[in-house]
């Protein structure tokens, strides 16, 4: 092949995006990226064309379970669509009420404790290297006394981690690929996706939008967002979140008593996600271990993420009671301890200093003040959609508002809201088939942003 003519071109691509609304300051960042363009040449073939060199491939097979996953994980997909929207409308003031990420500063009483621990690492006296994989003794004791006082949960039952989401995956490793599982529908997508990756499920069934071998426990307005357990077949593991993400509903003491009894009758293990328990305003249980007998059938995972704004700091914990046993009588906690020691080197000592400060009297008060701020945001959002005539759920016990758009596709509603108001929400179908026709609006946001978003909602739906 002889090359007769060849041009060298370069293309300058300019992309700009607006930052999140921050109070009332709107900043636009512009970035110019220079990329080489494709060669525009005229070629004359004088011999057989050379085939393109094939990409080198290893002989390692892809994990077939990864191929089962549908599209991307929900929240990165929301972020991708938001980024595309910001490129389309570079001057728009985009407000994000989608992903449940905290926005308000961490109280100084907490950050100062982390700073002190950080500076101490530069001294001979204050330096520490690897810590206990299960967490620092003082923090474990503080978690036990603060959240599980008089519930029979002890320091040794608590495993401090880098967040509840990470512990969900470690628990899946603990259970292995042969267990069966049930989830609330809708529910936090990490439960299902981690189950798929572990090989616990069948293929995705497009006609019903479900994975085979997972039991989807329907939670909707008709059943008060609590599953009809009489219709649920036995599974080994039951993932249950209360207050629930995304619906914002919280299970009552009577409902959780039924859940614990259901697990006992079936010999199942409940993985109870209490990441939003601090938002509870009703007289509902904050912990599954408030229910008699729960220590024999339940694990509880929780987090400082939404309690203290630790979404980026990364600190959580999981409770595995000594009373919880496998079918052969072996303690579940011993196996989880082995998983933790093998897969994890312990939470950051700086983050743990912050967690300990959260549980001091002053820190605990400051933490609740930030939570109260988000609760006020929730009330503003709920009042807005109620005034527009929507059926609105959640909000009372969680920082999420669950809004019904009957007969409409969740992604279509998401797209319409984004296109016409420049507000990012989360489509309900991303949480499972039971979320179709709903939108989740997060109360995590600066007050000015929440008020402006609600003004735009009223303009759109007036």
CATH code for residues 108-361: 3.40.640.10
Q: Look at the domain 67-105+364-461 and name its fold.
A: 3.90.1150
Cα–Cα distances in angstroms (integers) from residue 271 to residues 241, 246, 249, 268, in the given order:
8, 17, 17, 10
Q: How far apart are CA 74 and CA 105, in angstroms?
A: 26
- The helix (run of H) or strand (run of E) holding residue 440 is strand 438-442
Q: What is the pLDDT of residue 243?
A: 98
Q: What is the DSSP secondary structure assignment for residue 158, as one 8-state letter?
A: E
Q: What is the pLDDT of residue 50?
A: 57
Backbone angles phi, psi at 93, to 5 degrees: -90, 90
Residue 319, SS3 per DSSP: strand
Compute the residue count for the chain. Answer: 462
Backbone angles phi, psi at 44, to 5 degrees: -115, 120
Q: What is the pLDDT of residue 162?
A: 98
Q: What is the biggest distance separating any 2 CA atoms in the chain, rounded to whole angstroms?
A: 87
Q: Where are the domains of the chain?
A: 2-50, 67-105+364-461, 108-361
Q: What is the pLDDT of residue 43?
A: 45
Asked if the domains at 67-105+364-461 and 108-361 fall in one CATH topology, the answer is: no
Q: What is the pLDDT of residue 76?
A: 87
Q: How far apart are CA 357 and CA 341, in angstroms?
A: 25
User: Residues in the chain with pLDDT < 50?
Assistant: 1-45
Q: What is the pLDDT of residue 164?
A: 97
Q: How far apart are CA 436 and CA 458, in angstroms?
A: 23
Asked if 134 and 140 count as a contact pair (C-beta separation under 8 A), the reply is yes
Q: Residues 233, 235, 238, 239: what is their CA dihedral angle, to the nearest 10 degrees?
A: -100
């Amino acid at each position: 092949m002889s090359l007769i003519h060849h041009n060298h071109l370069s293309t300058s691509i300019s992309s700009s995006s607006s930052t999140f609304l921050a109070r009332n300051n709107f900043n636009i960042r512009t970035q110019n990226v220079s990329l080489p363009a494709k060669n525009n040449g005229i070629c004359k073939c004088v011999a057989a064309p050379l085939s393109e060199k094939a990409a080198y491939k290893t002989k390692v097979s892809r994990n077939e379970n990864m191929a089962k996953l549908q599209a991307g994980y929900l929240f990165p997909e929301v972020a991708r669509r938001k980024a595309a929207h910001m490129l389309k409308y570079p001057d728009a003031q985009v407000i994000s009420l989608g992903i449940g990420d905290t926005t308000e500063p961490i109280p100084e009483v907490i950050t100062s404790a982390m700073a002190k621990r950080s500076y101490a690492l530069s001294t001979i006296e204050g330096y520490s290297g690897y810590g206990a994989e299960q967490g620092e003794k003082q923090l474990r004791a503080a978690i036990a006394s603060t959240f599980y006082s008089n519930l029979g949960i002890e320091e040794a039952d608590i495993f401090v981690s880098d967040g509840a989401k990470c512990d969900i995956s470690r628990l899946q490793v603990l259970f292995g690929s042969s267990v069966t599982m049930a989830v609330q529908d809708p529910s936090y997508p990490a439960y299902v996706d981690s189950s798929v990756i572990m090989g616990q499920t069948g293929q995705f069934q497009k006609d019903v939008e479900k994975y085979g071998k997972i039991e989807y426990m329907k939670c909707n307005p008709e059943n008060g967002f609590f599953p009809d357990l009489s219709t649920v077949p036995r599974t080994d593991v039951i993932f249950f979140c209360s207050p629930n993400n995304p619906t914002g509903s919280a299970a009552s003491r009577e409902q959780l008593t039924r859940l614990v009894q259901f697990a006992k009758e079936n010999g199942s293990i409940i993985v109870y996600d209490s990441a939003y328990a601090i938002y509870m305003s009703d007289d509902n249980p904050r912990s599954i271990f408030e229910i008699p007998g729960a220590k024999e059938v339940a694990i509880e995972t929780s987090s400082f993420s939404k309690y203290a704004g630790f979404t980026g700091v990364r600190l959580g914990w999981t409770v595995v009671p000594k009373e919880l046993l496998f079918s052969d009588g072996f303690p579940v906690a011993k196996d989880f301890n082995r998983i933790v020691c093998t897969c994890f080197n312990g939470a950051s000592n700086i983050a743990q200093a912050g967690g300990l400060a959260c549980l001091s009297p002053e820190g605990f008060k400051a933490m609740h003040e930030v939570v109260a701020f988000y609760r006020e945001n929730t009330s503003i959002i709920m009042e807005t959609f109620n005034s527009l005539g929507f059926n609105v759920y959640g909000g009372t016990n969680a920082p999420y508002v669950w809004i019904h758009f009957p007969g409409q596709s969740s992604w279509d509603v998401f797209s319409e809201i984004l296109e016409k108001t420049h507000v990012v929400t989360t489509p309900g179908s991303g949480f499972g088939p039971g979320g179709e026709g709903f939108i989740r609006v997060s109360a995590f946001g600066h007050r000015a942003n929440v008020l402006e978003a609600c003004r735009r909602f009223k303009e759109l739906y007036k």
